[in-house]
Structure 1
Amino acid sequence: MAATKEAIGIVLDVGPSMNQAPPGEETPLQTAIAAITMILQRKMFAESKDEVCLVLFGTQNTDNPLANGDCYENIVVARTLGIADFDLLQMVQNDITTSNVSADFVDALIVALDQVINGMQGKRGFAHKRLILFSDLGGEFGDDQIEKIIAGIRNTQTELNIIGPDFDDDGDDGDAGGASVAVVNGQRKEKTPQQKVGEKMVKHILEEVNGECYSFNEALPALSYFQARQVRPTAWKCNLEIGPNLKIPICGYIKVKDFKLKQSWKKVYAKDPQADVGLLRTSHMNDEEETEVEKEDIVEGYRYGNTLVPMSSDDKESMKYKSSKCFKVLGFTKSDNIKRHHYMGDGVSMVVADKGDDAAGVALSSLINALYETNMVAIVRRVYMANSAPKLGFLSPKIKGSYECLMYTELPFMEDIRQFTFGSLPVKETENQTNKKYSPSAEQLRAIDDLITSMDLTAEDEDGEKNELLKPNLLFNPHFQRLYQCLQHRVLNPDDPLPELSPLVANYLKPPQEVITKCQDNVEKVKTLFKLEVNTKKKEEQTGENMFKQNDEVEPGPVSKRAKLDDSLEGGIADLTKAKVTEVGSVTPVEDFRTLIASKDEDLFEKACDQMSKRAEEIVLDSFGAHFYGKAMDCLKALRQECIKVQWWNLGSSHGLSEGTETGVYKGTVVGFGVQSWIV
């Protein structure tokens, strides 16, 4: 396996100069901790195998393997070299405090380099080494170890990065060195003489080891985004077949692909993070005992109409499509015949000649240039590996100054295309006289065209060349950034609400300032031409439904004319689309009941009342707790209302009923409407 890991030594100054800031502003130490937090986040959420160690200098005590008497004092190895985890992240955020003791940053770099070199012993896969120093260079240091650290960095081929105040190259080399003003978190303040001397020494070290320096203002925006996991490209090797006799050995590499978040942290046990979480799946029959069924006794079934067809794994294997790995050209066509909405798949691949095969390179180059000159593309059949499903795609030529290749994009089969025909918009008055008033004017169309042109995401540089304002290789997915931010906050602060969106990510979502400035006039013009008016809510029209709305409180007595009108308006066009109702069902019992009694058949009314009462009883008995009690109450209300409307006046003294009771009589049958019980 190729060496791809990186060993990183983080050196943090916690001396007194790092804790000085105007009231209400962040101190350099707080800014440095935020930057280190972002570095650790990038490593953890990208699931990187890089290893990190943390060295603090300017501490009250001394704890490092190089300490001997007066050497390497006030330097602590807070974390030895290892993979970044939440324990390290929590320690950085909560356990680092300042002190009133200064320490030598050169000695701290030597301790960190020793930790990196010794921590790599016995481990494989490291390709890079890096030291990152966070300091405002306000503490004292000695120059007797300068040549030692320079030689150590050179001999071990370690990269050195220093993050601190602004390093200005405009200062006079004859004086203490560098600019006289430091900028931290947007605040300008005069550099101390010690900072000027430290800056001069840092520049000397960086020149000798070819290192780089950054200010806090430069480092924080760059570190605020979590990079995706870097994947080493793997070649897909095959032969590009053109006809029966021509075969060109090629290699396919993924150029663009939809990034799927790898969630190895998805299954955790909060009470014991070290415990392994296992999965246990069991299958049970849908019976009272919920009998468990072994996996070997289960066969998948597929419905074909009303028939359930069993399909075993052997049946599936025998019916599986048999194919072999191939990359075959089916034909050629003009590139104009391939529409953009025909593109499928989750990515695009680059096809180049097999490495080291000169004959294949010449042959593929000829094909690429021929397609380019004739404005053609090749339609190909691709089978990724044996027994995998065949795919249809096209190869388009791509020629750059440094390379040339074919770009493979997947195409749909005929069954994948859905043809939908939509009516055209009334752009011109002659097209649709019905919507003539909605047709835009020529001035409105021109304003929209100008707005679209002004929102072009390209800008000219000083040489007049157009450059992209949002380059895909420099963009980050804000969804992942927000997810990582919330995960980190939840781990470190489990009882607090989720934080607000990071301002850096929020600013990243805004359009480029160049585009906003360029399209501002066109936006105002569109606002003027397309006026928006507040659509006030119209007064409710006096419709038949509103006029003859049913009243839940029906007064006793003979059926009034209003009740007859209500009955005559029941149903309507909506009922024409419904299936014929023959009984009171359990899904919509009230609607079914009203539909049955609408026929005015007395026998059917009695039957519907009987069904309604039984259905209400079933709903109550089958209810899970009080879940369906409301539905049963609706049934009782509907039953009571309809019985009152039909024959309330049949209340008789023979039954001992008074006019105010909630009991009715229909054809000599007592109808009760108590809360706990009812009789029909």
Structure 2
Amino acid sequence: MADKEATVYIVDVGMSMGERHHDRAVTDLEWAMQYVWDRITGTVATGRKTAMMGVIGLRTDTTSNELEDDVHFSHISVLSNIKQFLMPDIRKLEEELKPSRTNKGDAISAIILAIQMIITHCKKLKYRRKIVLITNGQGRMSDENLDEIVKRIKEDSIELVVMGTDFDDPEYGYREEDKDPRKAENETLLRTLVEDCDGVYGTFEQAVAELDVPRVKTIKSMASFKGYLQLGNPEEYDSAVRIPVERYYRTYVARPPTASSFVLRSEPGAGKEAESSDTAAAIKESQSADADALTSVRTMRMYQVEDKSAPGGKIDVERDDLAKGYEYGRTAVHISETDENITILETFAGLELMGFIQSDHYDRYMHMSNTSIIIAQRANDKAALALSSFIHALFELECYAVARLVMKENKPPAIVLLAPSIEPDYECLFEVQLPFAEDVRTYRFPPLEKVITVSGKVVTQHRNLPSDDLLDVMDKYVNSMELVDTDEDGNPVETFPIEDSYSPVLHRIDSAVRARAINPNQPIPPPSERLTKFSHPSEDLVQNSKEHLEKLIELADVKKVPPKAKGRKRTREPEKPLSGLDVDALLHQEKRAKISPNNSIPEFKQTLAQAENIEAIKDATKQMMVIVEDQIRHSLGDANYDRVIEELGTMRDELISFEEPASYNQFLGQVKDKLLQEKLGGDRRELWWLIRRNKLGLVVERESDQSKVTDAEAKEFMSAN
């Protein structure tokens, strides 16, 4: 569980904060609020009820606080007590944080008031306490009783953070020229106070510059498995080894926040009707005015079965009345609840060693999962010593262990690989899942370094094989694009560090949501340069590789392929090869008059490509119709069904391209009638089911402008009857 937090922001809204300095386009307050909004919206986004915040306005026009009777606490207003912030609180705060018409107000008194707020709220409970002061240091500040303030801050374990506009910060390397004497005196006072409290003192020059750095969310580790790493069966053998271990994720995909569905809240009278709707129902209400306009929805599912005797031909069934079944061909095999244990393997939780493999015999592409780490059971010195011995043995022998992992009882087993990792102050086993035999996809490709002819002769010099000069230039080009550079001392330095490669989608959505929460009517700012940094190679890499790339293009004879022509196929001029030769004339290719059933698809495409008018297209389509019907009629069972499906798919795509969807729609209608009337060699309903499954239905208007078929008509046409 996350720790409780109580943070109080003290925001200086004095009249001087409304001024612009050092050629900035925004006021000091607007500039500083970039940091404040970033911190507040980041906390609100977590949705944690234990992350609470309060806001104090410094140098306000009015006074509103518990100690307002004391003159030292004048012009200080508590804008929000410590509580969980929601989006309406952000909107309200945005309206209140405007430059005032006075410069009166003591920042030290505001810190005392913030301490009082934290003590009152947190009492003696365990909280992470923090006070953040935002100021330009130009108001009057009292240096009385600073020792008492420091003592109280330390006693209550409060972290004090002071951020100032144009504050001098030697560590960051910023210094403001011609500084006002009072501001310089106040900066010295605040710096001394922060240093005595062991707090944080900084300038907004650094804080605003670092806002572009995406914040990586810290995830509290939770063990995904606790059990025993064992070798042998301890129930049968006394020599079996059992080591208590725990498993934690080392890598896990961080996903962006998901959007939820909301609807506008209706009037009270209409709300009752909405609650009875089958599609959505309100599940909670918000107390804020903004949230009252929206209500979240809950989807509801209805299960129906066909029943001709019922009104509408269907009846509703309860989910509990449904039975489970497994698809077997075109039928479903029912398995009752009492027999469900047949499909469940009886397993017991554990991590059992199966064998070992040399590290150089393992292929990295076998990784099938996220990476986890295996460590010894916490606070178990005996287990830590045993696991350390096992890790060192694997490391010294350069071996990996193969184990069988069952996360929980009766869960499917997984085969995992265990690799040793030894750091100066940390030892563990890296664990990744390995594939079963069914998970491996084997593909064969021709070799890249030789050509094998039909007769079996091996050729090493060929126009399709790279020459030695080409390989040499390619090596130089690849080396010039190396992502590891060297520093002045010759030590390797990564130019693509993994800690700087942030997820663009995750952080872009997060920043867009936070920007919209603060400014609902303003455009969303562009993404940070840090998110787009690795979207293109660096200029140094491009410049270093430019010379080698030009040589590579010259040796490989790379030519630019002309863009693919768009438009109607039947009115488009045929593409000419780069050589300018007439390939058809060289091959003495004659225009095809008849399509062969044995090579129907290529010849159909070729005939359409050579068609000079619409009649030729229609003639080729009629020939394909005859071929398809003949193959259906003479198919022994479903022997020709796959071929027919492929031919129908080709006809559909080609006729859409040639803007003749009506020919396909007409033919498909004829095929359906003949199939359902058993005029194509008997009962061929299975073929119609395959046509529906492969989505080879009528061409609709959204697929081709020449079609007059609507989606509703196409859906009705594809029904079984």
Instruction: Sort the TM-score into its range (normalised by shorter chain).
Output: 0.7 to 0.9
Is 1:240–1:329's contact at 8 Å kept on the other side of the alignment?
A: yes
**Structure 1 residue 466: Cα displacement:** 3.7
2:375 is equivalent to residue 352 of structure 1: yes
Equivalent residue, structure 2, for 1:408: 431
Superposed CA offset, 1:288-310 (max 9, x none): 25422112221133321232222
Asked which structure has the greater CA Rg, the reply is 1
> Aligned equivalents of 1:457 and 1:309: distance in 2?
56
Is 1:180–1:191's contact at 8 Å kept on the other side of the alignment?
A: no
Could you say if the C-alpha distance between residues 26 and 192 of structure 1 is closer, same or farther in structure 2, counting changes exceeding 3 Å?
Answer: same
Equivalent residue, structure 1, for 2:180: 192
Could you say if the C-alpha distance between residues 521 and 114 of structure 1 is closer, same or farther in structure 2, counting changes exceeding 3 Å?
Answer: same
**Structure 1 residue 491: Cα displacement:** 4.3
CA RMSD of aligned residues (A): 4.1
Structure 1 window deviating more from structure 2 (21-30 vs 420-429): it is: 420-429
- SS of equivalent to 1:331: strand
> Aligned equivalents of 1:395 and 1:228: distance in 2?
28
> Aligned equivalents of 1:207 and 1:68: distance in 2?
31
Is 1:481–1:505's contact at 8 Å kept on the other side of the alignment?
A: no
> Aligned equivalents of 1:473 and 1:548: distance in 2?
59
Equivalent residue, structure 2, for 1:399: 422
Is 1:161–1:211's contact at 8 Å kept on the other side of the alignment?
A: yes
Amino acid at match of 1:250: V
Superposed CA offset, 1:560-597 (max 9, x none): xxx7x888766678986786478xx9x97724867999
Equivalent residue, structure 2, for 1:590: 663
2:223 is equivalent to residue 234 of structure 1: yes
Q: Percent identity?
A: 22
Is 1:426–1:432's contact at 8 Å kept on the other side of the alignment?
A: no
Equivalent residues, number: 576
- SS of equivalent to 2:74: coil
- SS of equivalent to 1:285: strand
Could you say if the C-alpha distance between residues 44 and 444 of structure 1 is closer, same or farther in structure 2, counting changes exceeding 3 Å?
Answer: farther
- SS of equivalent to 1:424: coil
Could you say if the C-alpha distance between residues 75 and 221 of structure 1 is closer, same or farther in structure 2, counting changes exceeding 3 Å?
Answer: same
Amino acid at match of 2:260: K
Equivalent residue, structure 1, for 2:232: 243
Amino acid at match of 2:243: I
Is 1:51–1:82's contact at 8 Å kept on the other side of the alignment?
A: yes
> Aligned equivalents of 1:307 and 1:180: distance in 2?
76
**Structure 1 residue 450: Cα displacement:** 3.5
Matched ranges for 1:655-670 at <5 A: none
Could you say if the C-alpha distance between residues 91 and 355 of structure 1 is closer, same or farther in structure 2, counting changes exceeding 3 Å?
Answer: same
> Aligned equivalents of 2:630 and 2:131: distance in 1?
77
Equivalent residue, structure 2, for 1:108: 110
2:76 is equivalent to residue 90 of structure 1: no
Equivalent residue, structure 2, for 1:665: none
Matched ranges for 1:109-258 at <5 A: 109-121=111-123, 126-165=126-165, 167-168=167-168, 181-182=175-176, 190-224=178-212, 225-228=214-217, 230-234=219-223, 236-244=225-233, 245-258=240-253
Is 2:377–2:384's contact at 8 Å kept on the other side of the alignment?
A: yes
Could you say if the C-alpha distance between residues 567 and 21 of structure 1 is closer, same or farther in structure 2, counting changes exceeding 3 Å?
Answer: closer
2:511 is equivalent to residue 485 of structure 1: yes
2:28 is equivalent to residue 4 of structure 1: no
- SS of equivalent to 1:284: strand
Amino acid at match of 1:304: Y
> Aligned equivalents of 2:65 and 2:495: distance in 1?
48
**Structure 1 residue 519: Cα displacement:** 5.3
> Aligned equivalents of 1:307 and 1:381: distance in 2?
35
Normalising by the residue count of structure 1, what TM-score does the alignment of the two structures yield? 0.74
Equivalent residue, structure 2, for 1:417: 440
2:348 is equivalent to residue 324 of structure 1: yes
**Structure 1 residue 250: Cα displacement:** 1.6
- SS of equivalent to 2:301: coil
> Aligned equivalents of 1:577 and 1:227: distance in 2?
59
**Structure 1 residue 523: Cα displacement:** 3.1
> Aligned equivalents of 2:452 and 2:440: distance in 1?
33
Could you say if the C-alpha distance between residues 472 and 434 of structure 1 is closer, same or farther in structure 2, counting changes exceeding 3 Å?
Answer: closer
> Aligned equivalents of 2:485 and 2:541: distance in 1?
10
Amino acid at match of 2:355: G
Is 2:257–2:510's contact at 8 Å kept on the other side of the alignment?
A: no
2:31 is equivalent to residue 31 of structure 1: yes
Equivalent residue, structure 2, for 1:502: 527
Structure 1 window deviating more from structure 2 (402-411 vs 516-525): it is: 516-525
Is 2:374–2:430's contact at 8 Å kept on the other side of the alignment?
A: yes
2:300 is equivalent to residue 301 of structure 1: no
Amino acid at match of 2:87: F
**Structure 1 residue 526: Cα displacement:** 0.7
- SS of equivalent to 1:523: helix
Equivalent residue, structure 1, for 2:687: none
Superposed CA offset, 1:504-538 (max 9, x none): 444544568xx642552213431343166444479
Could you say if the C-alpha distance between residues 257 and 627 of structure 1 is closer, same or farther in structure 2, counting changes exceeding 3 Å?
Answer: closer
Amino acid at match of 1:590: S
Amino acid at match of 1:341: Y
- SS of equivalent to 1:196: helix
Pick from 590, 606, 612: which aligns with 1:549? 612
Amino acid at match of 1:482: R
2:370 is equivalent to residue 370 of structure 1: no
> Aligned equivalents of 1:297 and 1:67: distance in 2?
68
Superposed CA offset, 1:484-518 (max 9, x none): 2232344455566x624333444544568xx6425
> Aligned equivalents of 2:702 and 2:439: distance in 1?
48
- SS of equivalent to 2:250: strand
**Structure 1 residues without counterparts, runs of 5 or longer:** 172-177, 183-188, 552-562, 598-621, 635-680
